[in-house]
Chains A and B, each alone.
Chain A
Amino acid sequence: MNKKQKKVLYRIIAAALMMIVLLLLPLEEKSILRFILFLLPYFTIGYDILRKAFKGIMNKQVFDENFLMAVATVGAMALGEYTEGVAVMLFYQIGELFQSYAVGKSRRNISALMDIRPDFANVMIDGVVTKVDPDEVEVGSEIIVQPGEKIPIDGVVVDGTSTLDTAALTGESVPRSVKPSDEVISGCINMSGVIKVKTTKEFGESTASKILDLVENASSKKSKPENFISKFARIYTPVVCYAAVGLALLPPVVSLIIGLEPRWGQWVYRALTFLVISCPCALVISIPLTFFAGIGGASKEGVLVKGSNYLDMLSKAKIAVMDKTGTLTKGVFKVTEIVPVGITKEELLEKTAMAEVYSNHPISKSLKEAYGKPINTSRVSDVEEISGHGIKAIVGDTTVNVGNEKLMANVGVEPATVVAAGTVIHVAFDDKYVGYILISDELKPTSKSAIKAMKQAGIRATVMLTGDSDKVAGIVANDLGLDKVYSQLLPADKVTKVEELLADKNENEQLIFVGDGINDAPVLSRADIGIAMGALGSDAAIEAADVVLMDDDPMKIAKAINIAKKCMRIVYENIYFAIGIKVACLILGAIGIANMWLAIFADVGVMVLAVLNAIRALRVHNV
């Protein structure tokens, strides 16, 4: 608790004690002495509210909470309901204190969740290590990161090896190992060894600062429910106040006219009850708090949401459009099958890798990687790249032809027919077909379950867009159980396809596009919600997307949707609950069933419950 809160707490305790003592004293009902004695706790607890109410009137701000509380309690005192008068003030202050404590606490909780802000950097200057503010470190400086410390600034390792804990950024607990020339990202915790890092960015441009900035400003983009609530609050309070005036005046006047007893006291008391309920605090505090907690909880899981409006939209996601390479597949080519004809697998791979030794094509690289041994280049000669066909080379005393079906036709051999998702490399030794090697982009291990999880999260249609061939795309789509696939698309076609899908959907359905942020920035911004994945260290993706997944696990897509759903469920629970209870109490108050005590519950109790409910949005680990 801060100083301000403590002061209020002492005042509450003091006023409560005074009140208990006064209630125990044998004082005469409605005596002057009783009135004066009750003024003691009343002013102790309420003086600042009375003062603010007075100032509010001076500034022509009539319908604020202080004014309402002041009128309600002064009215109650005037009617001789001293206990109620003091109690309303007392509970109002308890409610305010609780609210400010809860909000402060969740503010701290959420900043603790995002505890990636580095406090210092150890800079090497002329061989001496000095601790400085990370803000002061220039690009290209060398910094030392000890085990247990956070990496303060993005950079490249120049010396030392270690493992890094990226959990604070990605929500993943598997540590990453780094060695010299690897890039490291600020916000990770160095776990095992001392590393020397050459910084490549300023502190303000580093990943940790960017993420913090993004999360802290996320709740500035307000969602529909938030805008609804602030509008509602602006209308609700005046309406209830006018209703209170009506309730105080109309029934007695009508009673007078038709010749009945007016019973002013009773109707004024009921009107005062109205005023106590008219405070919109429970709503105005719990809705932004829920979004704030939801965004905080999501960042803890490695899902950065750039605004509460995106949580709202994400919860209504019905169509998921995904890029293939890098999103559903790993985006790296690998030898997945070796099918020799008449020779051994080893021989086929060895000679093929040797023929490809000088090439830097991704396919050649994956062949060499699969071979895994250093290649003795002296055995390779007369390498000839035949564009659009493949490679021809002499390896030892064999002429090796490596390439596609066209090349095989040139050589004069009949290649095997292969149906598989990937690139087929046929090989011929001298003039004999010796088999093929299949190179493909592997599916991510979680892709299939991710599609299933998305369906469970309410996605109606899963669509894959790819620049790859129809054949490859078809096999991948089939494997994953996707609903639709569009293949052989150029980057610009992807935007057109997304626009078609957008035109095709229902109005209240939201379309999400998931990509890896490379080459798909236009699509990311065109979709209702653009989700960039594997964004750790990619600034472009963080800029273009509305939701950023820190690692590249497609399971996080469904997780993000579920977090959004939970958050929105709590938001609506709070809206219905708070408005429902208030309206019910207004009606009960008007017909005289609810007294001021119930009104206090409707005001303070509902607020406390709504705030507690809002904080549930923080716990999203298992959604």
Chain B
Amino acid sequence: MKKTYKIDVDCANYANKMEQAAKNTAGVADATVNFMALKMNVEFEEGADVKAVMAEVLANCKKVEDDCEIFI
């Protein structure tokens, strides 16, 4: 399953880091962050609990960049 989220982040490098952080989260099959459109596309693994996974993604992103936001 794929979902798109609006995000807010200041710097393109952090956007790349958020992408890495999201990719490395359990339950996420793939993730891309589009800095210019401020969007995150997340592809979930089969049977993953979207809400729980996204909370984890947000927490992981906060670790790499405190100032980021994902509008879940």
Contact = CB atoms under 8 A, between A and B. Distances in A.
A52 B67 contact: yes
A220 B64 CA distance: 21
A59 B38 CA distance: 24
A100 interface: yes
A52, A99, A234, A288 — which one has the most chain B CB atoms within 10 A of its CB? A288
Contacts, number: 64
Given A217-B37, A219-B36, A230-B16, A281 B63 contact: no
Contact of A96 (B10, B32, B35): B10
A107 B37 CA distance: 8
B11 interface: yes
Contacts of A99: 11
Contacts of A284: 11-13, 16
A441 interface: no
Nearest to B36: A292
Contacts of B11: 65, 96, 99-100, 281, 284-285
Contact of A220 (B12, B32, B63): B32
Interface of A is mostly: helix
A289 B36 contact: yes
A103 interface: yes
A281 B12 contact: yes
Contacts of A285: 11-13
A222 B65 CA distance: 22
A220 B41 contact: yes
Nearest to A280: B13
B36 A107 contact: yes
Given A96-B10, A219-B34, A220-B41, A61 B16 contact: no
A388 B44 CA distance: 58
A220 B13 contact: no
Nearest to B13: A284
Contacts of B20: 234
A216 B66 contact: no
A233 interface: yes
Contacts of B19: 230
A569 B35 CA distance: 21
A621 interface: no
Interface string B1-24: 000000000111100110110000
Contacts of A281: 11-13
Interface string A281-309: 10011001101100000000000000000
B4 to A, nearest CB: 8
Contact of A288 (B12, B41, B65): B12
Contacts of A55: 66
B37 A219 contact: yes
B12 A222 contact: no
Contacts of B10: 96, 100
Contacts of B63: 59, 61
Nearest to A279: B13
A230 B19 CA distance: 10
Nearest to B19: A230
Given A281-B11, A281-B13, A59 B64 contact: yes
Interface string B29-65: 0001011111101000000000000000000000111
Contacts of A289: 12, 36
Interface string A231-259: 00110000000000000000000000000
A220 B66 contact: no
A291 B37 CA distance: 12
A622 to B, nearest CB: 24
A230, A280, A289, A292 — which one has the most chain B CB atoms within 10 A of its CB? A230
B16 A52 contact: no
A56 B37 CA distance: 26
Contacts of A216: 37, 39
A23 B45 CA distance: 59
Contacts of B35: 103, 288
Contacts of B39: 216-217, 220
Interface string A71-104: 0000000000000000000000000100110010
A588 to B, nearest CB: 24
A276 to B, nearest CB: 15
14 contacts: A56-B66, A61-B63, A99-B11, A103-B36, A110-B36, A220-B34, A230-B19, A234-B20, A280-B13, A284-B16, A285-B11, A288-B35, A289-B12, A292-B36
Interface of B: 10-13, 16-17, 19-20, 32, 34-39, 41, 63-67
Given A217-B39, A219-B37, A222-B32, 13 more contacts: A56-B66, A61-B63, A64-B65, A96-B10, A103-B12, A216-B37, A216-B39, A217-B41, A220-B32, A233-B16, A234-B16, A285-B12, A285-B13
